[in-house]
């Protein structure tokens, strides 16, 4: 489904990813954890080519990613949810959800709107269809962003710290939506997060990244009871109170 082969990424002299090999299977829920600045965002952003690797290969569904194929591959295979929501502020919530399906997938507007309303209902925000995103709380905006990701009906969803910009009381409402999504067998989810409770509940596999390499990976069971790497242990002891 998603395959990274020896991916390196540098920003100028700073080498952020130092040879990442990762294979995410169809329907798998992978949670990426690691200290801040370790390269988690860069890693997940290489998967949909928001960052172009300096070297190495990224395959999505056996399509080799490239700069010129990014738009096409993202259109048919993946969606992304960002830390800062990144909703389009000049459009209503409903237009945010229908823009890509109508413009990219050529779905008739009426049909796209019906689909969008369905997803809004699913994230519990049907009544917000006609307001502008900036009038909503962070938690609501992030749920809208998840609904927007779903409207493309792609099988892969990337989440880059979706709850890190939220006030604490709004974290759970977003996690609840993500947990509900994780029950869908055919969704492939790659999630960067510091929410260990979520990771434990949802992850098929946890990947620990530090210093631009994958130091350890395994099931939540493995991670929370029997981590091997010293750095993993140190990280987990800091983050689990």
Partner 1 sequence: MSEIQGSLKMITNGSVLLYLIKGLGFTVVIAVFAVLLGLVIGTILALARNYCTSKKTVIFKWLSTAYIEIFRNTPLMLWIFIGLVYFPSVNVSAGFSKALGLSRTEIALLIKGIIALVLFTSSVIAEIVRGGLNSIPKGQFEAAYSQGFGIVRTLTLIVLPQTFRNIIPTLLSQVITTVKDTSYIANIAVAELLGRTFQVIQISPRYTGFTSQNVSDVFVLCGLACVMYFAINFTLSCIVRRLQKPKVRKPVSV
Binding site for partner 1 (CB under 8 A): 48-50, 70-76, 78-80, 82, 84-90, 99-100, 103-104, 134-137, 139, 152, 158, 169-170
Contact between 41 and Mg ion per CB under 5 A = yes
Q: Which is nearer to partner 1, 22 or 100 (CB)?
A: 100
> In the β-sheet with 29-33, what is the strand arrangement from edge to edge?
78-81, 156-160, 188-192, 29-33, 205-210, 213-218
Nearer to ligand ADP, 113 or 161 (CB): 161
CB of 33 to Mg ion, least distance (A): 11
Angle between helical axes of 109-122 and 93-104 (0-180°, round to 10): 130
C-alpha dist (Å) from residue 82 to 44, 56, 216, 229: 11, 24, 25, 29
Cα 182 from Cα 180, distance rounded (Å): 5
Nearest to 99 by CA among 73, 126, 89: 89
**Nearer to ligand ADP by C-beta: 42 or 96?**
42
Q: Identify which of 138, 136, 129, 139 has the alpha carbon closest to the alpha carbon of residue 97.
A: 129
193 binds Mg ion (CB under 5 A): no
Beta bridge partners of 190: 30, 158
The distance of closest approach from Cβ of residue 159 to partner 1 in the complex, given in angstroms and rounded to an integer, is 11
Q: Which is nearer to Mg ion, 119 or 159 (CB)?
A: 159
Which of ligand ADP, Mg ion, partner 1, none is residue 80 near (CB under 5 to 8 Å by kind)? partner 1
Binder among 7, 20, 29, 39 for ligand ADP (CB under 6 A):
39
Binding partner of 11, given ligand ADP, Mg ion, partner 1, none, CB within 5-8 angstroms per partner class: ligand ADP
Shortest distance (Å) from residue 9 CB to ligand ADP = 8
| Orientation of helix 138-151 relative to helix 168-182, angle to 10° | 20
How distant is the alpha carbon of residue 224 from its chain centre?
22
Residue number, 14 or 168, with CB nearest to ligand ADP: 14
């Amino acid at each position: 489904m998603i395959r990274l082969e020896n991916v390196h990424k540098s920003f100028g002299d700073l080498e952020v990813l130092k040879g990442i090999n990762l294979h995410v299977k169809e329907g798998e829920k992978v949670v990426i954890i690691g200290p801040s600045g370790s390269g988690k965002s860069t890693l997940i952003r290489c998967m949909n080519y928001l960052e172009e690797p300096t070297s190495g290969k990224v395959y999505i569904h056996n399509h080799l990613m490239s700069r010129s194929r990014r738009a096409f591959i993202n259109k048919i295979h993946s969606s992304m949810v960002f830390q800062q929501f990144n909703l389009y502020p000049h459009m209503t919530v409903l237009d945010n959800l229908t823009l890509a399906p109508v413009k990219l997938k050529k779905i008739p507007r009426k049909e796209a709107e019906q689909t969008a309303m369905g997803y809004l209902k699913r994230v519990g925000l049907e009544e917000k269809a006609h307001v502008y995103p900036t009038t909503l709380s962070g938690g609501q905006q992030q749920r809208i962003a998840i609904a927007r990701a779903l409207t493309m009906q792609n099988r892969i969803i990337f989440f880059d710290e979706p709850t890190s910009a939220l006030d604490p009381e709004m974290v759970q409402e977003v996690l609840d939506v993500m947990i509900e999504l994780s029950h869908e067998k055919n969704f492939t989810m790659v999630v960067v997060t510091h929410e260990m409770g979520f990771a434990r509940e949802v992850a098929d596999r946890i990947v620990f990244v530090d210093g631009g390499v994958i130091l350890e990976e395994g099931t939540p069971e493995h991670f929370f009871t029997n981590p091997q790497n010293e750095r993993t242990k140190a990280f987990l002891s800091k983050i689990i109170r």
